[in-house]
């Protein structure tokens, strides 16, 4: 009799524990309270144009219906990720008017590199806000947050809580400009020589952020830039240099070398940092498939820019970028946008369309391109 009673009590206790666990899961909020992003134009939400205001149409035409500081017709991967975590779009750190940093900040700027540039923006077009500068901005941001909470300053209304840094997602989408900026001048083999230094800098930055409390890091790998219209028209090659999909073989082989080294380095970093989550995201896999098999995703055009000039295979002119106008003889020529960006993978020959970004984001959220496995959808249910 006593044995039966004890069994019933044990069973009731087990049921209570299960109910409590499931009830807690249902009521819990997202595991992350903020996102801090480091990157270039692929994830810049307006930082560059806050520093050098000049962006005009047709940028932003799909979602924002006007230029919104993004190098696309609409939303970027970082926008989709923020939405999935129940957060507003990230405010650029450099934007002084209208910013809200309660859910993080975006340190990315268009044309940024991992390595410190040895030239001026006005000479080479490379942003002065390299990864090292973005890291310094992050550190200064934390100092200001700590000071504001200790002195109860008015700035608290747009700043996150003091303990947010250990509850944040740190995202990195940078390195493309280190790879592409010197391709035409020094060739792919010489570019490969300094790629380990680029990756070392990314790993070093992760370690420094870990030192100030960061614990969860997502690193997007390098895109298949050998399929980009800007590279295909700017890098000397013959037909034999192209694969069956029209992409540059040597360039994409170098990209694979970079990505393999990045994955290995992040694995080593993961082992070194106790209690840290360091995730390698193979966004290259999805974007390459989009270029090679666009119709499988409901997209018509792979290697052809929506916004550009020249038509034909690439619709890209090295002397006339998206939205720009130049006078040739008695004619005024403008690089215009197509009417259906959703049917393109490439927005302007250099950056992805919102449609492509959405497909990549979906793969990130469901964990299908994460190493090790990391399913954001499970951590932040809708």
Give residue-wise pLDDT tens across range 164-197: 999 999 999 999 999 999 999 999 999 999 999 9
* Contacts of 57 by beta carbon, 8 Å cutoff, 6+ apart: 66, 67, 323
* pLDDT of 10 over the 50 cut: no
Give the largest Cα separation in the chain, rounded.
Answer: 103
Higher pLDDT, 51 or 13: 51
The per-residue pLDDT for range 328-374, each reduced to its tens digit, is 888 899 999 999 999 999 999 999 999 999 999 999 999 999 999 99
Considering the entire predicted model, what is its pTM? Answer: 0.91
Q: What is the pLDDT of residue 379?
A: 80
What value does the mean pLDDT take over residues 144-152? 85
Q: Where are the beta strands (DSSP E) in 20-167?
A: 34-39, 104-106
pLDDT band for position 17 (cuts 50, 70, 90): very low
Helices (H) and strands (E) in the chain, counts: 14, 10
Q: 255, 259, 281: which is closest to 363 by C-alpha?
A: 281
**Beta strand 34-39 with 104-106: parallel, antiparallel or unpaired?**
parallel
Three-state DSSP at 115 gives coil
Full strand arrangement of the beta sheet holding 34-39: 104-106, 34-39, 168-173, 216-220, 277-281, 370-371
**What's the confidence (pLDDT) of residue 21?**
37
Q: How far apart are CA 113 and CA 126, in angstroms?
A: 7
Which residues participate in catalysis according to the annotation?
A: 41, 348, 351
Report pLDDT digits (tens) over 28-62.
357 899 999 999 999 999 999 999 988 988 999 99
Q: Which of 19-28, 152-161, 258-267, 305-314 has the lowest mean pLDDT?
A: 19-28
């Amino acid at each position: 009799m006593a044995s039966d009673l004890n069994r019933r009590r044990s069973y009731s206790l087990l049921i209570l524990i299960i109910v409590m666990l499931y009830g807690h899961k249902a009521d819990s909020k997202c595991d992350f309270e903020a996102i801090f992003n480091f990157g270039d134009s692929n994830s810049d939400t307006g930082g560059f144009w806050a520093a050098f205001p000049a962006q005009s149409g047709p940028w932003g035409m799909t979602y924002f219906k006007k230029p919104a500081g993004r190098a696309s017709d609409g939303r970027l991967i970082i926008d989709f990720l923020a939405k999935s975590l129940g957060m507003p779009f990230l405010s650029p750190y450099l934007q002084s008017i209208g910013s809200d940093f309660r859910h993080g900040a975006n340190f990315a700027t268009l044309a940024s590199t991992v390595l410190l540039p040895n030239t001026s923006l006005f000479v080479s077009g490379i942003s002065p806000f390299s990864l090292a500068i973005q890291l310094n901005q992050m550190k200064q941001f934390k100092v200001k947050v700590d000071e504001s909470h200790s002195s109860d300053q008015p700035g608290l209304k747009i700043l996150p809580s003091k303990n947010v840094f250990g509850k944040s997602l740190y995202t990195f989408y940078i390195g493309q400009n280190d790879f592409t900026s010197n391709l035409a001048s020094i060739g792919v083999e010489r570019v490969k020589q300094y790629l380990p230094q680029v990756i070392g800098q990314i790993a070093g930055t992760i370690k420094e952020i870990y030192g100030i409390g960061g614990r969860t890091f997502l690193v997007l790998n390098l895109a298949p830039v050998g399929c980009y219209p800007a590279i295909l028209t700017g890098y000397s090659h013959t037909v034999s240099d192209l694969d069956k999909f029209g992409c540059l073989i040597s360039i994409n082989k170098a990209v694979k070398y970079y990505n393999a080294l990045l994955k290995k380095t992040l694995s080593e970093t993961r082992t070194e940092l106790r209690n840290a989550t360091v995730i390698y995201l193979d966004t290259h896999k999805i974007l390459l498939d989009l270029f090679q098999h666009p119709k499988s995703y409901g997209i018509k055009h792979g290697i052809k820019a929506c916004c550009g000039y020249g038509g034909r295979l690439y619709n890209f002119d090295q002397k006339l970028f998206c939205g720009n106008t130049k006078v040739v003889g008695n004619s005024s020529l403008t690089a215009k946008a197509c009417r259906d960006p959703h049917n393109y993978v490439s927005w302007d020959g250099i950056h992805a369309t919102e449609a492509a970004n959405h497909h990549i984001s979906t793969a990130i959220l469901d964990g299908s391109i994460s190493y090790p496995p990391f399913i954001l959808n499970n951590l932040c249910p809708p």
